[in-house]
C-alpha cells in the first residue's frame, strides 16, 4: 500500500515537471508548426541557470524567487534570440529542414551548456530544504515536489488557458494557430505572434528546468530525456493540445512511476508504450481533432 502511495506521489511530481516542458513544446508547435527539438535544451539551460542563481544569491529564503527569475531570464533572452535569429528564417521551408535546424541548435546548445557549466554534476537543493517535508500517510515527501511543483504546473495551465481565451493577445495566438493567412488578412501581425508564442514556450521550458533543478543533479544530457518524454506527452495528447498535454503528462508521469516501483525493467519503455498504444487507436492523439482545432 505504501509503495502504491509512493508511486502516486512520485508520478504526480514527475507529471508536473513533464507538463511544464510539454506544454511549451505543444504551444510552439501549435502556432509555429515547428517541432522544436531544442526545447529540451531550454529546459536544461533553465535548470543550470536556476542552480547557478540560487547558489549565487546564497540566501535560502530567496531561492524560490531565484528559480522564477532564472526561468524568466532564460525565456526572455533565449526565446527572442532563437525565434528572430533562427526560426524566422525557416518558416517557409520544408518540415525536414526545420527539424534539422532545431536539431542542430540542440547540439550547439548542449555544447554551450558544457562550455558554461562544465561536465561535473551540479546540485543545489536550497528551495527543497526551504519548504521542508510533508507527511502523506506514513510517507515523508518533500513539500517542494508534492505541493509546489504541481501547484506551479496547474497555475501555468490555468493562466495559459485564460491568457489564450480571454485576452486579445491570446486570441491572436489562437487565430494564427488556426490559420496564419486568415489571421494576417484581418490585421494580425503573425511575426509578432510567432515571437510571443515562442518566447512563452521557451519560458515554460526554462521554468520546468528551474523547478526540476533542486530535485536532481544536473549533468550534460538532462535535456535529451526531457525532450523525448515531452514529445511522447505531446504526441499522446495530440499536437497543439494544451489541456490534453496536462492529462497525458499525468498519465505518462504516473505510468513511469508505477513502472519504477512495480516493474523497474519497464521504466524507460512505459511512456512510449502508452504513446504507441494511443496512437495506434487514435493517430491524431487522445485529444487531437487535427483539422478542427489546435490549442
Partner 1 sequence: MLSLERVEVTIAGARILRGVSLVVPEGGRVALVGRNGAGKTTTFRAIMGLVPIATGSMRFSGVDLVALPAHRRTALGIGYAPEDRRLFPSFTVEENVRLPAEVLGLRGREIRDRLARVWDLLPELAELRDRRAGALSGGQGKMAALARALVTGTRLLLLDEPFQGLAPALARRYGEILARLVARERGLALLVSESNPELLAPFVDQVITIERGEIAAPRA
Residues that bind partner 1 (CB under 8 A): 168, 171-172, 174-175, 178-179, 181-190, 292-293
Residues 83 and 85: their CA atoms lie apart, in Å, by 6
Question: Which lies closer to partner 1 via its Cβ, residue 4 or residue 182?
Answer: 182
**Measured from the CB atom, is 18 or 164 closer to partner 1?**
164
Coil vs helix vs strand at 134: strand
Q: Is residue 210 a contact partner of residue 70, using CB atoms and an 8 Å limit? A: yes
Q: Of 36 and 172, which has the nearer Cβ to partner 1?
A: 172
Question: Closest separation between CB of residue 175 and partner 1, Å?
Answer: 5
Residue given cell 527569475 in the structure block: 69
Q: Please identify, using beta-carbon distances, which residue of 84 and 171 lies nearer to partner 1.
A: 171
Distances (CA, A) of 44 to 54, 187, 225, 240, 286: 15, 37, 10, 22, 28
Angstrom CA distances, 145 to 4, 9, 232, stand at: 17, 9, 22
User: CB-wise, 65 or 188, nearer to partner 1?
Assistant: 188
Q: Which three cell numbers stand for residue 232?
A: 511522447
Minimum CB separation from partner 1 for residue 278, in Å?
22
Q: Which is nearer to partner 1, 39 or 294 (CB)?
A: 294
CB of 290 to partner 1, least distance (A): 12
By C-beta, is 188 or 224 nearer to partner 1? Answer: 188
Using CA atoms, how far apart are residues 175 and 275, in angstroms rounded to an integer?
29
Closest distance to partner 1 from the beta carbon of 199 (Å): 19
Question: Minimum distance from CB of 178 to partner 1 (Å)?
Answer: 4
Alpha-carbon span 276 to 269, nearest angstrom: 11
Question: Which residues 6+ apart lie within 8 Å of 42 measured at CB?
Answer: 24, 74, 75, 78, 109, 202, 205, 206, 209, 223
262: left (phi over 0), alpha (psi -120 to 50) or beta: alpha
**Closer Cβ to partner 1, 199 or 241, answer by number:** 241
Per-position DSSP letters for 70-88, written without gaps between them: HHHHHHHHHHHHHHHHTGG
Q: How many whole angstroms separate alpha carbon 215 and alpha carbon 140?
A: 15
Closest C-alpha to 32, from 78, 82, 73: 82
Amino acid at each position: 500500500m505504501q509503495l502504491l502511495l509512493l508511486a502516486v506521489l512520485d508520478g504526480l511530481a514527475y507529471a508536473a515537471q513533464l507538463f511544464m516542458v510539454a506544454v511549451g513544446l505543444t504551444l510552439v508547435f501549435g502556432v509555429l508548426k515547428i517541432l522544436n527539438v531544442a526545447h529540451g535544451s531550454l529546459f536544461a539551460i533553465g535548470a543550470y541557470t536556476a542552480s547557478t542563481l540560487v547558489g549565487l544569491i546564497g540566501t535560502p529564503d530567496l531561492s524560490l524567487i531565484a528559480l522564477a527569475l532564472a526561468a524568466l531570464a532564460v525565456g526572455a533572452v533565449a526565446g527572442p534570440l532563437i525565434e528572430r535569429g533562427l526560426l524566422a528564417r525557416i518558416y517557409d521551408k520544408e518540415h525536414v529542414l526545420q527539424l534539422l535546424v532545431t536539431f542542430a541548435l540542440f547540439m550547439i546548445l548542449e555544447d554551450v551548456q558544457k562550455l558554461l557549466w562544465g561536465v561535473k554534476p551540479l546540485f543545489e537543493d536550497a528551495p527543497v530544504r526551504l519548504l521542508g517535508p510533508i507527511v502523506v500517510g506514513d510517507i515523508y515527501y518533500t513539500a517542494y515536489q508534492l505541493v509546489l511543483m504541481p501547484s506551479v504546473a496547474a497555475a501555468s495551465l490555468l493562466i495559459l488557458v485564460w491568457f489564450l481565451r480571454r485576452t486579445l493577445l491570446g486570441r491572436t495566438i489562437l487565430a494564427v494557430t488556426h490559420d496564419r493567412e486568415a489571421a494576417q488578412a484581418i490585421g494580425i501581425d503573425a511575426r509578432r505572434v510567432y515571437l510571443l508564442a515562442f518566447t512563452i514556450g521557451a519560458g515554460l521550458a526554462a521554468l520546468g528546468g528551474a523547478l526540476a533543478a533542486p530535485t536532481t543533479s544536473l549533468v550534460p544530457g538532462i535535456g535529451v530525456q526531457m525532450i523525448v518524454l515531452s514529445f511522447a506527452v505531446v504526441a499522446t495528447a495530440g499536437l497543439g493540445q494544451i489541456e490534453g498535454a496536462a492529462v497525458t503528462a499525468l498519465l505518462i508521469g504516473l505510468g513511469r512511476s508505477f513502472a519504477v516501483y512495480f516493474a523497474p525493467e519497464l521504466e524507460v519503455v512505459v511512456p512510449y508504450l502508452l504513446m504507441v498504444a494511443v496512437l495506434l487507436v487514435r493517430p491524431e492523439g487522445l485529444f487531437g481533432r487535427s483539422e478542427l482545432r489546435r490549442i
